[in-house]
Amino acid sequence: MVDRTAIFGAVEGDGIVRCDACPVLCRIRPGRAGACHRYANEEGRLIRTDPLVLLTQSVESGAPVVPFLDAAGDWDGGIAPPPPQTFVTAIGAGTTYPDYKPAPFIVASQHAGVDTVTVVTEGIFSYCGLKAKIDTDRHLGPEAARVMHEGEQIGHVTTAEYGSQMLSLGGVRHLTGGSKREGNVTCAAMLALCGKQAIEVQIEGGSKLILQAGAAPIVNGVVEQRMRVGCGSAAIGIFAQQWQGHVDEVIVVDDHITGVLTEHQAGKCLFMRPAGIRVRGRRSTPGRYFQVAHPGTGWGGTDVTDPLTLIESIDPKLAWPGLRLLLTSTTGEDALYVELDEALRPVTRPMPEAVGRTVARIGENCEPALTSILFMAGAGGSLRAGVTENPILLTRSVQQGDVRVTMGGAPCYLYPGGGITIMADVLRIPDKAFGHVPTPALVAPLEFTLRADLYAAMGGHVDQALSLAALLAQHGDAASHAAWPDANPWPSPPS
């Protein structure tokens, strides 16, 4: 048996303690903290500076009662349900580094009559990144354009999704594959975003953004208000019947798919008269046009500020004087009402009240613009070895759905394929859950919850398990106690 105390956290000369919590191996003087500020030397002892976080859900909340093993030390199977149920998060728990150390806390409990184990550890993630989902039609920058922060590239623009622009930030190549400054700037930016703080980024060839999880994005100094109801074609389909009788034609301007009502299938199903107004761009299916303009911060995510410039031609065989035309963006923030004069030229008119109501209805159906920050990481050797002596068994159990994976109690999405690759919304993770080490890498909480018999079968560190009662007796006074977030499901083990 290796005497770990002789190697890790060892006291050197002059009371210096060598920290083993990450590969940096800081030598910490008495009364000082390590480079990450997560560990310190207190009178010759290596201590964790942040408290262990316990989340408590009361019985009154309507959640099922979860009794926990009541034992003074060993895991002996005794049951005594406390009034509230408590989940031990990995926030403040400490790490498994180096690999062969068991997880800091392996907590035995019982849920709905099933013996359960939750393995708790803070992971050191070099392989991690953020996905920023930015609800806006504004063109932020060309796809694959570099995202810059404090003069360093920290990510790139990735594929846009429905109603949102997307950024890929961080990742191992920016953390460790570039200059030392690039790695440090990337790590600091990711830590700020995971901590629900705001940062400013500049997209090359595009916009300047202020991003903060849970807040509206600020694009070139303007706070975004709405996420579009749909593309131009979708808007036509949604509101066609509400426009019928009030206008003769509608053009919904969109950088991706601009819709034209009377050409569109929706207009044809309503037997609307063809208006003969042809818009610029590449015609796709009837009433749907691609590439009507360049991307930009104008109408519908285009560079258009005057929507009448989108009209390529007006067919005198189909159009007529007095034709009522509405042009609107996909959010309803921009709208123009015109009528054709005797020469079939569009003339701006006051928008009729009934038409104005349909534009307002577009806005009503738009959700508020929001920035979402999703943390994504792969759980590697240190984490898995802290759970079991045979890490592949944990990987397979996670992939088979036998293990509940959470971050600070928050639910995680598990990517298919090999490994344990997870993604979680930082807004659902408790505050101050993330840290860093100067390798550089982020530190994030991770919990594995599963049935006790499966844990034993995979070669888990059963001899390190302790009951919640024992944990509270040993660490409860120093721990940070918080209420369970109602939006998160309780992390019960998969059946």
Residues 248 and 181 placed together within one structural domain of the fold:
no
| Residue 492 counted as domain residue | no
Tokens of 456: 């034993």
- Would residue 298 count as lying in a domain? yes
Tell me: pLDDT of 68 over 50. Answer: no
First to last CA, the chain: 37
Which has more confidence, 378 or 382? Answer: 378
Question: Hey, what long-range contacts does 57-61 have (CB within 8 A, 24 or more apart)?
Answer: 57/84, 57/85, 57/86, 57/87, 57/483, 57/484, 57/490, 58/83, 58/84, 59/83, 59/84, 59/85, 61/484, 61/486
Give the residue-averaged pLDDT of 129-158: 96
Same domain, 114 and 169: no
* 417 shares a domain with 451: yes
Average pLDDT score over residue span 190-197: 98
Q: Give domain status of residue 297, yes or no.
A: yes
Q: Over range 179-198, report the average pLDDT.
A: 98
Query: Is 411 inside any structural domain?
Result: yes
Is 495 a member of any domain?
no
Question: What is the predicted pLDDT for the residue at 63?
Answer: 44
For residue 351 the two structure tokens come to 């928008």
Per residue in 413-435, pLDDT (tens digit) is 999 999 999 999 999 999 999 99
Mean pLDDT score, 291-300: 94
Residue with tokens 């592949």: 392
Q: What tokens does 334 get?
A: 């921009």
Q: What is the pLDDT of residues 7-48, one digit of tens each?
A: 456 677 788 998 887 778 889 999 999 888 888 898 888 888
The pLDDT of residue 379 is above 90: no
Q: Residue 35 has what pLDDT? A: 85
CA 150, distance to chain mean position in Å, is 23
Give the chain's length: 495
How high is the pLDDT of residue 44? Answer: 85
Structure tokens at 448: 């594995």
| Domain with 441 in it | 53-126+380-483
- Integer angstrom CA distances of residue 173 from 123, 181, 313: 19, 13, 50
Do 257 and 196 sit in the same domain of this protein?
Answer: no
What does the pLDDT average to over 330-345?
Answer: 97
Q: Within a domain: residue 489?
A: no
pLDDT band at 66 (very low <50, low <70, confident <90, very high): very low
Which pLDDT score is estimated for 8? 55
- Verify that 138 and 261 share a domain, yes or no: no
Same domain as 343, residue 288? yes
Q: Tell me whether residue 312 is in a domain.
A: yes
The predicted structure's pLDDT at residue 113? 74
Is the distance from CB of 348 to CB of 103 less than 8 angstroms? no
| Tally of structural domains, the chain | 4
Q: Average pLDDT, stretch 93-112?
A: 84
Q: pLDDT value at position 111? A: 74
pLDDT at 103 over 60: yes
**135 and 13 within one domain:** no
Same domain, 323 and 388: no
- The domain boundary residue, chosen from 183, 208, 224: 224
Do 143 and 209 fall into the same domain? yes
> What pTM was estimated for this model as a whole?
0.88
- pLDDT tens profile 297-327: 999 999 999 999 999 999 999 999 999 999 9
- 97 pLDDT above the threshold of 80: no
Q: Which of 253-262, 339-348, 383-392 is the least confident region?
A: 383-392
Q: Identify the domain boundary among 175, 200, 224.
A: 224
Whether 208 maps to a domain, the answer reads yes
Residue 361's CB is within 10 A of a number of other CB atoms, namely 15
Q: Are residues 252 and 355 in the same domain?
A: yes
Residues 220 and 245 in one domain: no
pLDDT of residue 350: 98
pLDDT mean across residues, the chain: 90
More reliable by pLDDT, 475 or 449: 449
Contact 29, 14 (CB under 8 A): yes
Judge whether residue 123 has pLDDT over 70.
yes
Which of these ranges, 67-71, 202-206, 265-269, has the smallest mean pLDDT? 67-71
Same domain, 354 and 398: no
| CA dist., res. 398 & res. 401, Å (int) | 5
User: Which pLDDT score, from 0 to 100, does residue 179 have?
Assistant: 96
Q: Which of residues 191, 224, 257 is at a domain's end?
A: 224
Per residue in 228-278, pLDDT (tens digit) is 999 999 999 999 999 999 999 999 999 999 999 999 999 999 999 999 999
Q: Of 310 and 85, which is predicted with more confidence? A: 310
Per the model's pLDDT, the better-predicted residue between 46 and 157 turns out to be 157
- The percentage of the chain sitting over the pLDDT mark of 70, rounded to a whole number, equals 92
